[in-house]
């Protein structure tokens, strides 16, 4: 049993084990245990309770009574850990674990929808291929994908003005890389103005907001990349 699940202070340990025993006693099989477990734990809780009282009472507190309490305590802790292994093996529901005073299983935290929009930078142009780099605006120096991001959906458009609706964009595909080469058909005229946008998505394919479109010109026209 994880130590954080067992109170280690004497009086707290006595209270915890007494409550655990009271819960399993009416029907130990509900918790993956048997009557023999109840019998064993009953004797050990009673023994520990008595020896703790003797060790705490000034009139009976001696090195012998303290040592006896410590030995009883170690025995009780060992039994509780063994019982916990049985409880785990029974694959109990969270409500039964809570009834025993134990922590419920940690449910996996859902990965949220990406909250940030990629920042797009045009890195280079080579004939009809444009290399763009995506960065996380919350951590611009990060080289990999942001936490919780499974990939990037990339889109392009050829024309003087970027579309304002999703239907106007051409889907270039999904990428797990933060740098992507986007090739345009050979029929695309030199100097054409091309646009890019993208969004991050998580492992459940839930997408964040689309990036602000960024444009550049294919070689043969204006050479300077510019933002919309």
pLDDT in tens, 98-131: 899 988 776 566 788 999 999 999 999 998 999 9
Domains and CATH numbers, the chain: 3-99 (no CATH), 119-227 (2.60.40.10)
Structure tokens belonging to residue 114: 């990406």
In this model, does residue 164 exceed pLDDT 80? yes
Residue 64 phi, psi dihedral angles, 5° rounding: -70, -45
Q: Please report the pLDDT score of residue 228 as a whole number.
A: 39
Report the 10 Å Cβ neighbour count for 83.
24
pLDDT tens, position by position, 36-60: 999 999 999 999 999 999 999 999 9
| Cα–Cα distance for residue pair 137/92, rounded to 1 Å | 44
Strand stretches in 50-175, DSSP E? 119-126, 129-135, 151-158, 170-175
pTM greater than 0.85: no
Please name which of 166, 161, 154, 224 lies closest in space to residue 196, comparing C-alpha atoms.
154
pLDDT tens, position by position, 6-24: 888 899 999 999 999 999 9
Q: Please report the pLDDT score of residue 17 as a whole number.
A: 95
């Amino acid at each position: 049993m994880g130590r954080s699940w067992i109170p280690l202070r004497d009086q707290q340990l006595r209270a915890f084990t007494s409550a655990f025993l009271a819960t399993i006693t009416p029907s130990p099989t509900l918790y993956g245990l048997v009557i023999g477990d109840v019998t064993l734990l009953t004797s050990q809780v009673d023994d520990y309770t008595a020896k703790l009282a003797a060790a705490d009472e000034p009139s009976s507190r001696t090195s012998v009574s303290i040592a006896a309490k410590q030995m009883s305590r170690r025995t009780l802790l060992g039994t509780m850990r063994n019982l916990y292994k049985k409880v785990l093996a029974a694959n109990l529901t969270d409500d039964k674990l809570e009834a025993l005073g134990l922590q419920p299983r940690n449910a996996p935290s859902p990965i949220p929808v990406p909250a940030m929009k990629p920042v797009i930078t045009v890195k280079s142009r080579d004939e009809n291929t444009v290399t763009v780099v995506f960065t996380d605006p919350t951590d611009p120096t990060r080289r990999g994908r942001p936490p919780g991001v499974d990939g990037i959906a990339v889109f392009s458009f050829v024309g003087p003005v970027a579309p304002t609706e999703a239907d106007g964009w051409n889907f270039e595909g999904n990428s797990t890389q933060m740098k992507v080469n986007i090739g345009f058909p050979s029929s695309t005229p030199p100097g054409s103005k091309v646009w890019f946008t993208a969004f991050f998505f998580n492992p459940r394919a839930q997408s964040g907001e689309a990036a602000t479109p960024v444009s550049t010109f294919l070689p043969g026209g204006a050479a300077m990349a510019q933002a919309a």
